[in-house]
Amino acid sequence: MKTTLPLRIVFIWHQHQPYYKSDGKLRMPWVRMHGIKDYWDMVRILEDYPRIRQTFNFAPSLLEQLSGYIENKEVDTAYILSEKDPDRFSDQDRVDAVKTFFLANRERMINRYGRFAELLAKRGPVRNDADLVAASRKFTPQDFRDLQVWWNLSWVGEYSRFDPPFKHYLDKASGFSEEEKRKLL
């Protein structure tokens, strides 16, 4: 009789992000956004599969940037723009918002949410800086607030989005208040 031994597979997930800091500021939000969406959800998924063992390797550049966020020492430029009250936006803030807050996968992160897709349609195509300026004038302060919330909310992972407080935001969909936005951030 031939005995078959079980196949043993090792999964090693190498987590990394480039170093986005320059001139003392975090220029890009990708460490924060992927930390919320991907890195945390990978651990959450394992709760459903307790017999599977995984190894996660975090690059030093990623750990340093995550630590900066966790310890409230650093924030990225998209976070700073997310915190601003759209009622007090400058013209440049308005342009930056329509430029920044659609930086997400259209099918998986924008079109699946009605209000977010509606805001993208309202912005329209952008081919140059003049298009950005024109698009920024189409939005009301409430549109911008909803856009701030939706961009940050769309980065919540597949598992986490069903948890409080995220489910509340997904169910509400629009008309977010400054207080709701602050709680989400």
Contact 180, 153 (CB under 8 A): no
Query: Tokens in use for 39?
Result: 């890195």
User: What tens digit of pLDDT does each residue of 117-153 get?
Assistant: 999 999 999 999 999 999 999 999 999 999 999 999 9
User: What tens digit of pLDDT does each residue of 19-59 get?
Assistant: 888 887 888 999 999 888 888 888 888 888 888 888 888 89
Tracing tokens 């930086």 back to the chain, one arrives at 103
Q: How much of the chain, in percent, has pLDDT values that exceed 70?
A: 99
State residue 112's pLDDT score.
Answer: 95
> pTM of the predicted model, to two decimals?
0.89
The CA–CA distances, whole Å, from 169 to 126, 142, 149, 164, 172 equal 28, 15, 8, 9, 5
pLDDT, averaged across the chain:
92
